[in-house]
């Protein structure tokens, strides 16, 4: 039985871990419907976000990537390359902190208001759906919160705050 996108969205709003939700979505991919994303290699993030705003990103449709000016056909390799190129751009433009997997979201309010974090979330899910590793750039506590809806407070430290002024204020309040 095929589920509507509203039913899938409702299922994803339940309190199940992200990987379980992704497995459910993967079962629903309609290989008869294809969503094409046309991107330039040098502007992967810009093109991906622009097309996300214009098109409805639907994880239920088969994703195919076309790199502008290239004649390759996407049998999986182009998708992997797309997500490989997208991850560092996402890291540099939407996260702040060290490059050792301890990065935190920046510009949260504007990112939420203009749906950029929503689109990034869809791309994260699509990356995992197609065998990628998502975007391995978040601090463990942020990843655990997003994926498992829990935070291990022992892993969160004032030292993880990348903004020095904010770190100073937090230290001042907690001392």
Task: Go through the chain and tell me how many residues it has.
Answer: 175
pTM: 0.66
Judge whether 103 and 138 are in contact, CB under 8 Å: yes
Burial degree of 174 (CB within 10 A; 0-12, 13-18, 19+)? exposed
Tokens of 38: 């046309």
Number of structural domains the chain divides into: 1
Could you read off the pLDDT tens digit of each residue along the chain, which spans 175 residues? 344 555 545 555 554 566 677 778 788 888 888 889 999 999 999 999 998 888 777 778 889 999 999 988 888 889 999 998 998 898 888 877 766 556 667 777 777 788 888 888 888 888 888 877 677 776 677 667 766 667 666 666 777 776 788 788 888 887 6
For residue 90, the domain's CATH number is: 3.90.1750
DSSP secondary structure code for residue 149 in this structure: S
Other CB atoms within 10 Å distance of the CB of residue 114: 13
**How high is the pLDDT of residue 2?**
46
- Distance, CA of 111 to CA of 128 (rounded, Å): 22
DSSP secondary structure code for residue 161 in this structure: -
**How high is the pLDDT of residue 98?**
65
User: In which domain, by residue range, is 133 found?
Assistant: 5-174
């Amino acid at each position: 039985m095929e589920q509507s996108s509203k039913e899938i969205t409702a299922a994803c709003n339940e309190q199940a871990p992200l990987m379980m939700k992704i497995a459910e979505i993967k079962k629903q991919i309609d290989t008869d419907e294809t969503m094409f994303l046309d991107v330039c290699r040098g502007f992967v993030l810009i093109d991906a976000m622009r097309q996300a705003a214009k098109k409805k990103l639907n994880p239920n449709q088969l994703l195919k990537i076309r790199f502008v000016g290239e004649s390759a056909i996407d049998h999986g390799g182009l998708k992997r390359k797309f997500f490989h190129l997208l991850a560092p751009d996402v890291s540099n433009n939407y996260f702040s902190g060290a490059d050792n997997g301890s990065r935190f979201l920046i510009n949260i309010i504007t990112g939420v208001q203009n749906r950029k974090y929503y689109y990034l979330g869809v791309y994260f899910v699509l990356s995992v759906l197609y065998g990628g590793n998502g975007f391995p750039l978040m601090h463990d506590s942020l990843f655990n919160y997003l994926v498992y809806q829990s935070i291990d407070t022992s892993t969160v430290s004032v030292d993880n705050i990348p903004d020095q002024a904010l770190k100073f204020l937090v230290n001042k309040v907690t001392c």
